[in-house]
Chains A and B, each alone.
Chain A
Amino acid sequence: MTAPVHMAGTRTARYRYMTWFWRAVAIAFAAITVFPVYWMVQSAFEPNSDIASLAPNFFPVHFTFHNFVDAVHHTAGVGTAYFLDDARNSLLVVASATAITLVFGFLAAAAVSRFRLRGASAFLVLILVVQMVPGTALIIPVFLMLDNLHLTDNYFGLILVYAASTLPFTIWALRGFVRGVPIELEEAAMVDGATRFGAFRRILLPLVLPGVVSAGVFAFITSWNDFLAADVLMQQNNHQTLPVWLYSFTTNTGTDYGGLMAGCTIMALPVVIFFLLVQRRLVSGLTAGAVKG
């Protein structure tokens, strides 16, 4: 009688012990991962003289908001501060591009993994091959083509470029997720009277939502941090995006490190807010038990 209880007891103890071990590993990993970010943020609150001094501080000794005020009013020698313009452009362009990528990507992923389509394999291979080309090698032909269509210095042009550059990954990733969902679930819905599209939207989409969220975070961060396309395609200062604004902290005479670090800190905030808004969807919870038998 006592043996099973005893065994159960040790198993629980061992389980708890392991849980604490994994928690410790997670905390150590998180600390190492976030440390360079912390260093950036603490430098942002230091005067430039302290950042340049060789002895590093773990906490800002002369705490100041100066860099942030400076960064936001930073004029880059053109007379007007265009931080607010660029921030608005970034949000507009990146949010639109992410939305387009996710809608197009989900539809394409559903099409290539649920139907037999001639040429679909060739298409999938081609878009993977495109990933092998350095962005710096593609940007010149892209510029010349958009220029012919009068889509340079145009938000719509930039949105299309970002959507096109994140779409290949989104299609491939969502295809992987769709393949993880048994088609029987959709077939059951269709037996119950759902249309093919209805089955995709009501059954497949909720099940692959964690994949959609991850791909969305990828698309958001990739376009949010892009410097090259924005710099080449957008010409006027108040049409630029934040990475280009950030670049103006580096001039011929040197880099304003305090401003740069403050600027990066400001830039990181929308990414984290975006993630916190969508992160509940990262775990679907629907899968558990949905696929009995």
Chain B
Amino acid sequence: MRRQLLPLLFLLPSVGLISFLTLYPLGKLIATSFQNLGAFQLVQHKVVWDGLENYRTIFASGGGLGTSILQTALFVLACVGLTMAVGTGVALLLGRIGKVLRTVVTVCMLFAWAMPTSAAATVWTWLFQQEYGVVNDTLTSLGLNFSNHNWFGSEIGAYSIIVANIAWGAVPFVALMMYSALTLVPRDLYEAAAVDGASATITFRKVTMPIVRPIFVLMTVLSIIWDANVFNQVWYLTQGNAQLLNVVPLGVWQYIEAFSSTQYGLGAAVAVIMILLLVAVTGYYIRLMVRTGQVKAEAKA
């Protein structure tokens, strides 16, 4: 009995705070998805239960949902793939350079990470501006024909920039987390691998990865979740190009339903569908993450 007291005491503050400020609102959100809640009902404090009506509306919108899901999937795949690959690469790179240069690189990354998304989006639109943007200028002077190239003229072009912008903002975080995870790998293991003549690839897969895997999987899962929910970057970077929003990731769709059309019930239903989809996509890894921790705890208890 007494042995269980300490961990419960440790867990209590977190459980209390999270239940109070996130789990309860999550329950509210799910309830809202079964209600007809517009601005009128909100002001009147009226609760109008509507059964599955919101969900019916969404599924009745025909191809809208399917297209948006597919769009979101491709978009998330591009963002997460780029972020995790570059982030892990940079983390390994940080271990191969001297202390001074490492601090310089980290501070540069921190500046990028700390830049508010609205300001970053503004600067990016300047950089990629059609006629006078620095990017077109530089690419043209490198001999590529990018003069007067309109990046926001096509969905592919616009989404490339949005993906690059999101990865640029997320890489510092992933790189920093992965780098600090790499410090967990005991140096003698690398020495042993080197003595055994293991190649860099083998060393990474057999020595580094098993230790940093929990953090790597966590960062991947969270990147999937966060990028599926991404809103600011898409919103700011497509401003003034409303036709690009014909195809939008689900996170943006949820916002449009909830706030632009003030149909909170409908917005909540989109959010719930998104949670279910994300659980389906990441469920396997979440189970894996939970279970590996459990086995260890049981063995040691």
Taking Cβ atoms with an 8 Å cutoff, the residues of A that contact B are 19, 22-23, 25-27, 29-31, 33-37, 39-40, 43, 54-56, 58, 100, 103-105, 107-108, 110-117, 120-121, 123-138, 140-142, 144-145, 160-161, 163-165, 167-169, 171-173, 175-177, 179-181, 183, 196-197, 207, 210-211, 213-214, 217-218, 221, 224-225, 227, 243, 246-247, 255, 257, 260-261, 264, 267-268, 271-272, 275-276, 279, 282-285, 287-292
Contacts and interface: CB of A to CB of B under 8 A. Distances in A.
Contacts of A25: 93
A132 B186 CA distance: 34
Interface string B207-219: 0000110110010
A211 to B, nearest CB: 6
A292 B188 contact: yes
B119 A130 contact: no
B268 A177 contact: no
Contacts of A225: 114, 116-117
18 contacts: A25-B93, A26-B94, A34-B111, A36-B115, A36-B168, A37-B111, A55-B132, A100-B17, A107-B10, A111-B8, A111-B10, A113-B297, A124-B293, A132-B229, A167-B14, A169-B222, A260-B122, A282-B106
A130 B115 contact: no
Closest A-B pairs by Cβ, 10 of them: A176-B214, A210-B180, A164-B21, A141-B28, A141-B25, A111-B10, A180-B184, A115-B7, A111-B7, A108-B14
B11 interface: yes
Given A177-B215, A213-B180, A110 B10 contact: yes
B139 interface: no
Contacts, number: 309
A264 to B, nearest CB: 4
Given A54-B132, A211-B181, 16 more contacts: A27-B105, A30-B104, A34-B112, A36-B123, A36-B168, A37-B111, A39-B127, A108-B11, A108-B14, A132-B225, A134-B274, A167-B14, A255-B122, A268-B111, A268-B114, A268-B115
A83 B94 CA distance: 37
A48 B300 CA distance: 64
Interface string B258-301: 11000010011001001100110010001001101110111011
Nearest to B292: A179
B180 A138 contact: no
Contact of B296 (A127, A173, A179, A285): A179
Contacts of B18: 127, 130, 164, 167-168
A274 to B, nearest CB: 9
Contact of B181 (A120, A134, A176): A176
A36 B32 CA distance: 41
Contact of B171 (A33, A115, A134): A33
A98 B126 CA distance: 34
Contact of A179 (B106, B267, B293): B293
A125 B286 contact: yes
Given A114-B7, A164-B17, A276 B176 contact: no
Given A176-B214, A221-B114, A117 B11 contact: yes
A114 B21 contact: no
Contacts of A111: 6-8, 10-11
A96 to B, nearest CB: 13
B134 interface: yes
Contacts of B193: none
A142 B61 CA distance: 30
Contacts of A175: 214, 293
Nearest to B259: A136
Interface stretch (B69-77, B95-103, B141-149, B151-159): B95-103
B6 A160 contact: no
A28 B24 CA distance: 46
A287 B187 CA distance: 8
Contacts of A136: 231, 254-255, 258-259
Given A132-B274, A142-B21, A282-B179, A287 B110 contact: no
